[in-house]
Structure 1
Amino acid sequence: MMQEQNTIPGKTTGLVAYMTMIGAIIAIFMNLEPKNDFARFHIRQAFGLHLMFHAFALFSSVWYSQYALYGLYLCYVVLWVYGFLGAINNKKQVVPIVGPYFQKWFTFIQ
């Protein structure tokens, strides 16, 4: 017997946002019409995570430190998994520490 899945509008768009920075940009365009609050929330979270990762990677590449890069990747993966699992489970949970800032900073994402 198949179990009915609970899918909500915007879930696919929210999941696409977590698939690299390009995925986040694609998700922004996917959410143009119709606009979906769940998708917008996860696009902001994912876009912020990807942007933060690339900014810190660029910054740390100037002063190369192997252990700093390990910390960066570990932090990124943990926060990414947290956000991605929230999107899979139909929850609008902000990623720890930086998530509330992403919701404030990226209000241009509608």
Structure 2
Amino acid sequence: MENNMTTTDNGKTASIISYFTIIGWLIAYFAMHKDNKTELGSYQLRQTLLLNIIAIVLGWGVSFILGILIVTTGILSLVYISHLVQLAIFIIWIIGLIGAINGQKKPMPIIGEKAQTMFDSI
């Protein structure tokens, strides 16, 4: 009984740590999950991997495109689009983190189910 509780706690800890940047994800995966896989840890790691990838790609892509648009049009208020994208990612992150803290396998909005099929080997 005690080993089962430890396994659940390790999965929860890895789940929570994976939400803190890509470095947190790498620590959670390699130091905590790789040799002691749990269902909860796998579930949350898949979600946070996709969230990190999306955040990086959107961050660079939106910044690049908006930078070009701002330079060519001079409309500085286009920066607010970047802020809206960042806010959306942050809200999705908070929802996922709350699920991890509660030890739930609750999918993040928009990306949760896709992450489970894209990274099913984790």
* Short-chain TM bin: 0.7 to 0.9
- Equivalent in the alignment of 2:50: 48
After TM superposition, give the deviation of residue 68 of structure 1 in Å.
Answer: 1.9
Aligned partner of 1:66: which letter? V
Residue 103, structure 1, aligned to residue 116, structure 2: yes
Q: Tell me which amino acid in the other structure corresponds to 1:94.
A: P
* Aligned counterpart in structure 1 of residue 94 of structure 2, from 81, 87, 110: 81
Distance in 1, matches of 2:98 and 2:55, equals 19
Of residues 74, 82, 85 in structure 2, which corresponds to 1:72? 85
User: What is the CA-CA distance between 1:90 and the residue it aligns to?
Assistant: 1.3
Distance 1:74 1:61 in 2: 14
Structure 1 residue runs of 5 or longer lacking an equivalent are 1-5
Q: Which amino acid in structure 1 is aligned with residue 45 of structure 2?
A: I
1:27 shift after superposition: 1.2
C-alpha separation in 2, matches of 1:79 and 1:69: 16
Tell me which amino acid in the other structure corresponds to 1:33. D
Can you list the C-alpha shifts for 1:35-68, whole angstroms capped at 9, x where unaligned? Answer: 1110111111111111101100111122124122
Q: How does 1:17-56 map to 2 (within 5 A)?
A: 17-29=18-30, 30-56=32-58
The structural deviation recorded for 1:94 is: 0.3
What is the rounded CA distance, in whole Å, between the counterparts of 2:26 and 2:118 in structure 1? 16
Greater mean alpha carbon deviation, residues 65-74 or residues 95-104: 65-74
Comparing 59-68 with 72-81, greater Cα deviation is found at 59-68
Bigger fraction of residues in helix: 2
Of the two, which has the highest radius of gyration?
2
Runs of 4+ displaced beyond 4 Å? none
- Distance (Å, rounded) in 2 between the aligned partners of 1:21 and 1:61: 19
SS in 1 for 2:51: helix
- The 1-side partners of 2:50 and 2:60 are apart by 15
